[in-house]
Amino acid sequence: MEDMRGKTAVITGGASGMGKAFAQRLGGAGMKIVIADIEEPALVATVAELEAAGIEAVGVPTDVSKLESMESLAHAAKTAFGAIDVVALNAGVGGGTGRLETLSTKDWQWTFGVNLDGMVHGIQAFLPDLKAADSGHIVMTASIAGHLAYPSMGPYNATKYATVAIAETLKAELEHDGSNVGVTCLCPGLVLTGIFQSERNRPEQLLDTDIATEPISEEHAARREVMAEVILTHGKSADMVADLVHDAIRDNTFWVFTDEDFDQAIADRHQAIRNRQATTMTESLLGVYDE
Ligand SMILES: NC(=O)c1ccc[n+]([C@@H]2O[C@H](COP(=O)([O-])OP(=O)(O)OC[C@H]3O[C@@H](n4cnc5c(N)ncnc54)[C@H](O)[C@@H]3O)[C@@H](O)[C@H]2O)c1
């Protein structure tokens, strides 16, 4: 997409973190911005910030886990700005964490609802119009966890592997159809955002009251502290990721990785598959930063 000026971008999870940075970057390039998010106070505040920066923006309260909410988003976006050119399916949560046997059905439902159903609903609500116009671009935010399955992140890993698979399928189908719609599969490593406070948006009906009220163990608290420190030291800025996404839309680039920190681990996994061996994973994705 050579010239973004005057075109429209819809960004899910656009009220904070990476989605907000995409809105600022694409808005700065002259696009009209529709941000969709479940966290309404943050949504209102981000729209005000974008407008103060001279960007034409609207916010649409949206729950990506519900198809009717995504269809209303598509309708509201078209009503506000006409045709839609870029769709960034980016809303996501860290979701339920812990050993597989400790996870509840609600942990899986919450994580799958936002991270996976959100992608499917985005494609259902927006792809037909993009294909009919034979132009535009879809960005799908996956993760390094779409290439490496670290322990205690089962639901998240499953949704991000699925996102990579959907993005690859979409790219292949569009190519076979001779379509001019572009696709980017964004696979961030560690980025400084609110992802580790995702529970703030967990719907009440998907809470496990007993788990939610249980005090966290000392071991869990210590692990969190280490994690916070590693993220502060090694996490990339959301603005840097937004620059990469802007360039990927402009140049129609499929894969976007935010660093090379996990390249060796991904290569080792591919080699293990070629050797028909089990993949050896470190206990945590933070292992790559061990001195
Ligand atoms: N931060 C990282 O290190 C990292 C790494 C890899 C991938 N990611 C992915 O990046 C994407 C953006 O996350 P982030 O890191 O900016 O976190 P974030 O928490 O700062 O932003 C996520 C946004 O999604 C919104 N959201 C949550 N549930 C929603 C729902 N049901 N409907 C609509 N919006 C909802 C939140 O309100 C929030 O604004 C996610 O898909 C995440 O999995 C993040």
Taking alpha carbons only, the member of 10, 139, 173, 138 closest to residue 84 is 10
- pLDDT number for residue 215: 64
Ligand 1 pocket mutation pick from 10, 37, 70, 184 by most atoms within 8 angstroms of CB? 37
- pLDDT number for residue 282: 85
Residue 11 three-state SS: strand
Question: For residue 57, how far is its CA from the centre of ligand 1 (angstroms)?
Answer: 20
Side-chain-side CA neighbours of residue 137 (13 Å): 26
- pLDDT number for residue 225: 79
Q: 142, exposed or middle or buried, with CB in 10 Å at 0-12, 13-18, 19+?
A: buried
End-to-end Cα distance, the chain: 42
Task: Supply 198's token pair.
Answer: 């995702």
85 neighbors 137 (Cβ within 8 angstroms): yes
- pLDDT number for residue 46: 98
185 C-beta closer than 6 A to ligand 1: no
Domains of the chain: 8-213+236-262 (3.40.50.720)
3-state DSSP percent of the chain in helix, strand and coil, to 5 = 55, 10, 30
β-sheet bridge partners, residue 88? 11, 139
Task: Supply 242's token pair.
Answer: 């937004």
Question: For residue 99, how far is its CA from the centre of ligand 1 (angstroms)?
Answer: 22
Sheet containing strand 32-37, edge to edge, reads: 57-61, 32-37, 8-12, 86-89, 137-141, 182-187, 255-257
Task: Supply 271's token pair.
Answer: 């080699």
Task: Supply 269's token pair.
Answer: 């996994």
Query: What is the enclosing helix (H) or strand (E) of 10?
Result: strand 8-12
91 neighbors 36 (Cβ within 8 angstroms): yes
62 C-beta closer than 6 A to ligand 1: yes
CA trace torsion 119, 122, 126, 127 (10° rounding): 20
Question: For residue 178, how far is its CA from the centre of ligand 1 (angstroms)?
Answer: 32
Side-chain-side CA neighbours of residue 251 (13 Å): 10
The 10 Å Cβ neighbour count of residue 22 is: 30
pLDDT, mean of each 10-residue run, the chain (291 residues)? 95 98 98 98 98 98 98 98 98 94 96 98 98 98 97 96 98 98 98 90 86 65 77 93 98 98 96 95 82 59
117 C-beta closer than 6 A to ligand 1: no
β-sheet bridge partners, residue 33? 9, 57
